[in-house]
Chain A
Amino acid sequence: MSPQLTLQAPVALPPPELTDYLEKLWSQDLESASGASTFTLLVWQPAWVEQHLVRTGRLDGPVTGVVRTELLEAAREAVLTCDLPLSISPLSPKLAWALGQQSGDHAIEDLRGQHIDAAISAFQPRRLITLAPTLNHGQPLETLVAAYCPLPGEGTTAACGDVVVLRGDFGALQQGLQLLQPLVPADLPCWVWWNGSLDEAPELLEALAEPGRRLVIDTALGTPRRCLDLLESCVGSGQPVNDLNWLRQRAWRESLAMVFDPPSRRDALNHVVQLDIDVEGTHPVQGLLLAAWLADRLGWHWVESNAAAEEGISAEFERNDGIPVQFHLTPVPVGVPSSHPGSVVGLRLICQPPGSQPLCVILCSESGGCMRLEAGGMARMELAEEVVPMAHATDEWEMARLLGGGHDSTNPLLAAAAPLAAKLLPNA
Chain B
Amino acid sequence: MTVTLTNPLRVGLRQERVVSPQCLVIFGASGDLTSRKLVPALFELFRQRRLPTEFAVLGCARRPWSDEEFRGHMAEALGDLIHEHRGAWDQFAAGLFYEPVDLQQPEHLVRLAQRLEVIDRHRATRNNRTFYLSVSPKFYGSGCSALAAAGLLSDPERSRVVIEKPFGRDYGSAQELNRIVQTSAKESQVFRIDHYLGKETVQNILVLRFANTIFEPIWNRNYIASVEITAAETVGVEERAGYYESSGALRDMVQNHLTQMLALTTMEAPGRFDAEAIRNEKAKVLQSARLADELEPWNCCVRGQYGPGGTARRPLTGYRQEPGVNPNSTTETYVAMKLFIDNWRWQGVPFYLRTGKRLPKRMSEVVLTFREAPVHLFDAAGGSPTANQLILRIQPDEGAGFRFEVKSPGSGMRSRPVDMHFSYDESFGEPSDEGYVRLLADAMLGDPTLFTRGDEVEAAWRLYTPLLELIEDSPWQLPVHPYEARTWGPAAADNLLGRDGLMWRRP
Contact = CB atoms under 8 A, between A and B. Distances in A.
B188 A297 contact: no
Contacts of A294: 9
A256 to B, nearest CB: 6
B8 A408 contact: no
Contacts of A257: 7, 9-10, 13, 429
B49 interface: yes
Interface stretch (B16-24, B65-73, B368-376): B16-24
Contacts of A413: 12-13
Interface string A249-267: 0000110110011110011
Contacts of A195: none
A263 B12 contact: no
Contacts of B19: 406
Interface string A30-73: 00001001000000000000000000000000000000000000
A322 interface: no
A155 interface: yes
Given A187-B126, A257-B429, A407 B49 contact: yes
B406 to A, nearest CB: 23
A409 B49 contact: yes
B438 to A, nearest CB: 16
B9 A408 contact: no
B134 to A, nearest CB: 26
Given A37-B126, A406-B18, A409-B49, A253 B7 contact: no
A381 interface: no
A407 B15 CA distance: 9
Interface string B389-431: 0000000000000000000000000000000000000111100
Contacts of B207: none
A159 B157 contact: yes
Contacts of A16: none
Nearest to A299: B8
Nearest to A297: B8
Interface in A155-181: 155, 157, 159
Contacts, number: 72
Nearest to B4: A263
A323 interface: no
A298 interface: yes
A239 B142 CA distance: 47
Contacts of B15: 405, 407, 411
B427 A262 contact: yes
Given A187-B124, A260-B429, A266-B429, A411 B12 contact: yes
A335 interface: no
A388 to B, nearest CB: 14
B11 interface: yes
Interface residues of A, number: 30
B9 A260 contact: yes
A53 B313 CA distance: 86
Given A187-B126, A405-B16, A407-B18, A263 B5 contact: yes
Contacts of A261: 7, 10, 426-429
A389 to B, nearest CB: 15
Contacts of B11: 297
A232 B11 CA distance: 21
Given A37-B126, A155-B188, A263-B426, A253 B9 contact: yes
A151 interface: no
Interface in A226-262: 253-254, 256-257, 260-262
A260 B8 CA distance: 9
DSSP majority for the B interface?
Answer: loop
B151 to A, nearest CB: 17
Nearest to A404: B17
A86 to B, nearest CB: 35
Contacts of B17: 404-406
Given A263-B4, A406-B17, A407-B15, A297 B9 contact: yes
A408 B18 contact: yes
A10 B428 CA distance: 51
B439 to A, nearest CB: 19
A157 B429 contact: no
Q: How large is the interface on B (under 10, 10 to 19, 20 to 34, 35 or more residues)?
A: 20 to 34
Contacts of A404: 17
B114 interface: no
A412 B427 CA distance: 24
A260 B13 CA distance: 14
Nearest to B20: A406
B247 interface: no
A344 B276 CA distance: 39
B327 interface: no
A157 B186 CA distance: 13
B129 to A, nearest CB: 13
Given A261-B427, A406-B17, A406-B52, A269 B12 contact: no
Interface string A284-316: 000000000010011000000000000000000
A244 to B, nearest CB: 14
A9 B9 CA distance: 50
B53 interface: yes
B157 A266 contact: no
A267 B8 contact: no
B7 A412 contact: no
Contacts of A411: 12, 15
Contacts of A34: 157
B91 interface: no
A264 to B, nearest CB: 9
Given A407-B15, A407-B18, A411-B15, A269 B9 contact: yes
B6 interface: yes
Contacts of A256: 9
B5 A266 contact: yes
A254 B7 CA distance: 12
B13 A254 contact: yes
A261 B7 CA distance: 6
A406 B444 CA distance: 13
A408 B53 contact: yes
Interface string B1-44: 00011111111110111111000000000000000000000000
Contacts of B8: 269, 297-298
A300 to B, nearest CB: 11
Contacts of A260: 7, 9, 429
Contacts of B126: 37, 187
Contacts of B53: 408
A267 B7 CA distance: 9
Given A157-B157, A261-B10, A407-B49, A267 B428 contact: no
Contacts of B4: 263, 266
Contacts of B158: 37
Nearest to A263: B4
Nearest to A406: B18
A266 B6 contact: yes
Contacts of B428: 261
Interface in B425-454: 426-429
A317 to B, nearest CB: 15
Contacts of A254: 13
A183 B147 CA distance: 36
A263 B20 CA distance: 37
Nearest to A269: B8
Most chain A beta-carbon neighbours within 10 Å: one of B8, B19, B124, B427: B8
A411 to B, nearest CB: 7
A90 B439 CA distance: 44
The 3 closest A-B pairs by CB, nearest first: A406-B18, A257-B9, A266-B5
18 contacts: A256-B9, A257-B429, A263-B4, A263-B426, A266-B6, A266-B7, A297-B11, A298-B8, A405-B18, A406-B17, A406-B19, A406-B20, A407-B49, A408-B52, A408-B53, A411-B12, A412-B49, A413-B12
Interface of A: 34, 37, 154-155, 157, 159, 187, 253-254, 256-257, 260-263, 266-267, 269, 294, 297-298, 404-409, 411-413
Given A257-B429, A263-B5, 7 more contacts: A37-B157, A157-B157, A261-B427, A266-B5, A406-B17, A409-B49, A413-B12
